[in-house]
Chain A
C-alpha cells in the first residue's frame, strides 16, 4: 500500500492550509500569493519521500515556514500592509485575528499551528524540528501576550 500524492492533488487539498499559514506569517496577501506558488514547486522535489497524509501536511508546513523565512531575511520583506477591510468577520473575530498578527512571528506561528491546525505542542515541535519545551514556552508566552491585548480572553486549551 504505497502512498503517493501528486502536487496538484496536494494543492487541491492543502492550498488553503498553506495560504493561511503563510498569511499568518507574512501578514499580507501579496506575499502569501508568491509563497503559495513557491511552496508547491518546492514540494514537487520532495514529495517522493512521503509516507502518509500527516507527513504531507507536515512537509508543506515546514516548506511554508522556510519560504516565509527567506522572505524576511532577503530584504524582500516590505512593511506590513493593513488587513483587507472587506473580510466578512465579526468584531471579536477581527480583534482576535489582529491580536494574533501583532504577536512576534514565532509566537503567531505556534498559535496558528495549535489553534487553527489543531496540532499538539509535541507535533508542532516535530514539524518545526525544535524542542517541545521551546514550543510550550512559546505557546505559554504567546497566550500571556494575547491575554494582555485581548482583555479577558478565554482559551480553550
Chain B
C-alpha cells in the first residue's frame, strides 16, 4: 500500500518540458565539445596538473580556513560559563544561522540523524584478530570463568573470541561466549543459549527495557557479568547511552545489577581490566541553551540514580574559534557495579576510535566546506585527532593534533613505541571552468584526485614523519600495522599491497608494493609471516568487483611481499565481514576462517582453512537470517556454532555436519 501510494505520487513529479529542453540543448553542446578532445592531450595535461598539485601540497599542510589545531590548543574549560559563551557565540554567528542555529526543531532532528549513523561506522569499523602472543598481561587479575582466555594457549583452542585490534583491549560485539553458554543480543533482547553441541538449548530471553526506543548496540562479557551497551533513542535530542550490567550466574534468570548512563548516542567502547570505556557523541541544540541551566548545554551522566552534569574542568575545547554543536563524552565505569571512575568530554564529534592499553585516540573528520563554495582547489578533508591517557579507569586528556585525509576504520590508526601512526586517503578537489561551445556560458566542474598518505605523530601529536602521494587515484581500503612495519591496501583497479618501514618514525619508507586484482577490506596476521586478506576480486582492466576473495600474503620479507595463495568465492558478492572485523572468525590455533557470504538471495556460512599450499573449503552451510550483519560464527570445544537473528546452528567441528538447528 505504501509503495503503491508513494510511486503514484512520485510519478506525478516531473520537470517542466521547457526545463528539459533547455538542459538537453546545453548537454548536446557540452558533450560535443567533450567528444572532440584529443584524449592524449588530456592525459598530458592531467599529469602536469598532478605534478603541480603535489608541490602545492607541501606548502598547504593545514588548510588555511580550517580550525587551526596545535598541540596545546585544547584547554579545560574553567567554568560552565565559558562553555555557554562558545555556544552563544555560535548561535549568533551567521555561519551557524545557515547550518545549525537557523534550524527549527524538525531540522535539528534531521541534523542529528544525519550524524547519528556514525555509530555504525564506530561499531562496525573495528579490529582484527590480535597477533597471537604469549604475553599474559592481564592473566593474573582475571576472575574465574574469565573472558580473556585467549591469553593462554590452551584456552585459545577451547573457544573463540571476538576479534580485537590490540591485545589486552577487549572489544564489544553482539555475540559472546564463555565456553559454556552463548550470549546474543538482537534489538532489545538478550538471548542466552547453552553451548552443548546437539543438546544446545535456549536458556533465557531477557527484554532490555528503556524509556523510549531501546537499541542494544553491543556487549561485553566478563566473569559472571554481561555488560550491555544500550542506547535510548528519543524523538528529538537528549539520547542516552547506558552500560546495563546483568549478573548471569544463573543463565536461566539473568539479574540486573546496575545501570549507568551518559548523554549522547553510542560511538564505541572498550574494556580493559575491570573498566568499561564508553564513548558517546552528544549533540547540543544550541537554540535552546539556557545560561541558568547547565544541563541544556553540558552533557549529563547518570550513575546510581544520581544525574549530574560533567564537571567543567573535565570539558576540553579548542582555543580557536570552534564551530561544533556536539561533544564527545568518554566515561569509564566499573564492570561489576557500574560506578563511574572517570570522565572527560571534548567539544567536537568522534568518527573513529583507537584504543591501546594506555591511550585512547579519537579521530574526527572535517570537511573544508568554505573553500568548496569558493571553487578553490583544496584538500577535501582533514582529521582532528585527540589523545587521552587511560589508567585503571582514570581518564586524562593530553593533546590534539591533525592529519590530512580521512580514516576508514580503527585499523588506520596505531600506537607503537610512543608514536602514533595514521594511514589516510587524501582527496584533493580541483575545479575546471569550461565554456559551452556555442555560448558564453561557463560551467565549473570538479574533479577529485585521491592518494594515500602515511603520517607519524609523536606523543604530543605533532607531525614528525610522513610519506605523501602514494597510490594516486586510489583509496586506502585496509591497513595493518605490525610493529615497525605497516601494510596497507589501496584500490582502484588493481590492489597494491604496500609495505612501509616505520622503524625510524621520522623517516618512514616504502619497502615494497605488490599489485594484484581486487582488494582486501581487512587483513589479519596469520602464522609464520603470513597475512590473511579478506575482500573482493576485481577485473584488472575495468576495476569492476566480482566476488569475495581470500588472499594469503607472504610477508616474511616485507620488501618483497607476495600473494602466495588466493581463492575466489564464486557466486558470492557480499559478506558482513567486509564491513566489520567482528563478523570474521579467524583462529590460528584451530586453523579456521569463517564468515557469512551471500549472493543476495541466500546466505551461507563459509568455513575455510589454510593448508600452507592453499585455502580449503571445509563447509558451506545454508543459514537463515533477516539481516546478514547479525551472523556470527564461533566454536566451543568440539562444536561450531553459527548464530543469526533467527536461528542457531550447531556443527561438528571435525565433520562439519549440522547437528542441530534451533529457531528462536
Contact = CB atoms under 8 A, between A and B. Distances in A.
Interface of A: 6-8, 11, 15-16, 19-20, 23-24, 29, 32-33, 36-37, 40-42, 44-45, 51, 70, 73-75, 87-90, 92-97, 100, 102, 104-107, 111-112, 115-116, 120, 122, 131-134, 136-138, 141, 144, 146, 150, 153-156
B120 A131 contact: yes
A44 B24 contact: no
Interface of B: 1-10, 12-16, 19-20, 22-24, 26-28, 30-31, 34, 98-99, 106, 109-110, 113-114, 117, 120-121, 124, 213, 367, 369, 372-373, 443, 445-447, 542, 544, 573-574, 576, 579-580, 598, 600, 627-629
Given A19-B15, A133-B579, A97 B23 contact: no
Contacts, number: 156
B544 A51 contact: yes
Contacts of B20: 11, 15, 36
29 contacts: A7-B31, A20-B13, A29-B15, A32-B15, A33-B19, A37-B22, A37-B23, A41-B27, A41-B30, A44-B31, A45-B34, A75-B99, A87-B12, A90-B5, A93-B9, A94-B9, A97-B9, A104-B113, A104-B114, A105-B110, A115-B3, A116-B7, A120-B600, A133-B627, A134-B121, A154-B2, A155-B1, A156-B2, A156-B3
Given A41-B30, A44-B34, A134 B117 contact: yes
A70 B117 contact: no
Contacts of B628: 132
A97 B445 contact: no
B600 A133 contact: no
Nearest to A114: B3
Contacts of B629: 132-133, 136
A102 B106 contact: yes
A122 B15 CA distance: 29
B30 A44 contact: yes
Given A96-B5, A133-B576, A153-B2, A41 B445 contact: yes
A133 B447 contact: no
Nearest to A70: B372
Contact of B13 (A11, A23, A111): A23
Nearest to A39: B23
Nearest to B35: A6
A81 B23 CA distance: 23
Contacts of B30: 7, 41, 44
Contacts of B27: 7-8, 11, 40-41, 44
Nearest to A133: B629
Contacts of B23: 11, 15, 36-37, 40
Contacts of A131: 120-121, 124, 579
Contacts of A36: 15, 19-20, 23
Contacts of A73: 99, 367, 369, 372
Contact of A154 (B1, B114, B580): B1
A24 B13 CA distance: 10
Nearest to A148: B235
Given A132-B628, A133-B580, A156-B3, 18 more contacts: A15-B20, A16-B14, A16-B15, A19-B14, A19-B15, A29-B15, A33-B16, A36-B15, A93-B8, A100-B6, A104-B113, A106-B114, A111-B6, A116-B7, A131-B120, A134-B120, A137-B117, A154-B2
Nearest to A75: B98
Contacts of A20: 10, 13
A11 B114 CA distance: 30
A133 B626 CA distance: 12
Contact of A96 (B6, B14, B16, B98): B6
- Name the residue in A7, A73, A107, A153 with the highest tally of chain B Cβ atoms < 10 Å from its Cβ: A7
A87 B447 CA distance: 38
B117 A97 contact: no
The 9 residue pairs across chains A and B that have the minimum distance between CB atoms: A97-B9, A96-B5, A104-B110, A93-B9, A75-B98, A133-B629, A104-B113, A154-B1, A134-B120
Contacts of B9: 87, 89, 93-94, 96-97
A45 B46 CA distance: 14
